[in-house]
Amino acid sequence: MSDLFIFGLFERTRKSILGYTAELTPEQRSLVPTGFNNNIHWQLGHVIVIADAIVLGFAGHASQIPAEYRTFFGPGTKPADWTTEAPAWEELLDVFAKQTQSLRETFAGQTNEPVANKENFAKAETVGNLLELNTMHESSHSGMINAMSRLVKQS
């Protein structure tokens, strides 16, 4: 697998996410559109949490995000259940950018290396498989963010 390809795909997907959210107001990022369980703020945090779990976790590396992020943005969570203030949008943007760079630096030249957790749900065998899986997940959320941003702009 080519580092250039997988990291390029990963970074393009993340750039799309940033593009869909760039012009949104804080109120728009906090709206939960009809038919959705989450808002765009949650979507960004969720992408961060899952990248940390899939790529770093299954590759055998320590988490690089605050544990509280999982409480707010992990699978099965939603803003309606938040009892305290979620991490700020600007903080998430900073973590998002740093995570993008960190994953590239950490795994450059290692896409063919075996995963540490061979019992992962996706049966990924290499770090490259983890990066592909994560990019697939982020692409799905990028589409959701695109749809949600269109809806909240109409509100």
What is the mean pLDDT of the segment spanning 92-104? 97
Nearest to 51 by CA among 140, 134, 139: 134
What is the mean pLDDT of the segment spanning 22-50? 97
What pLDDT, on the 0 to 100 scale, is given for residue 90? 98
* Residue 56 buriedness (CB in 10 A; 0-12 / 13-18 / 19+): buried
Rounded to whole angstroms, the Cα distance separating 71 from 85 reads: 11
Rounded to whole angstroms, the Cα distance separating 45 from 57 reads: 17
Residue 63, helix vs strand vs coil:
coil
Nearest to 51 by CA among 118, 146, 114, 141: 141
What pLDDT, on the 0 to 100 scale, is given for residue 155? 80
Nearest to 101 by CA among 5, 14, 2, 1: 14
Burial 13-38 (b: 16+ CB within 10 A, else e): bbebbeebbeebeeebbbbbbeebeb
Q: pTM of the predicted model, to two decimals?
A: 0.96
What is the mean pLDDT of the segment spanning 104-112? 96
Q: What is the pLDDT of residues 54-72, one digit of tens each?
A: 999 999 999 999 999 999 9
Q: What spatial distance separates the first Cα and last Cα of the chain, rounded to whole Å?
A: 44
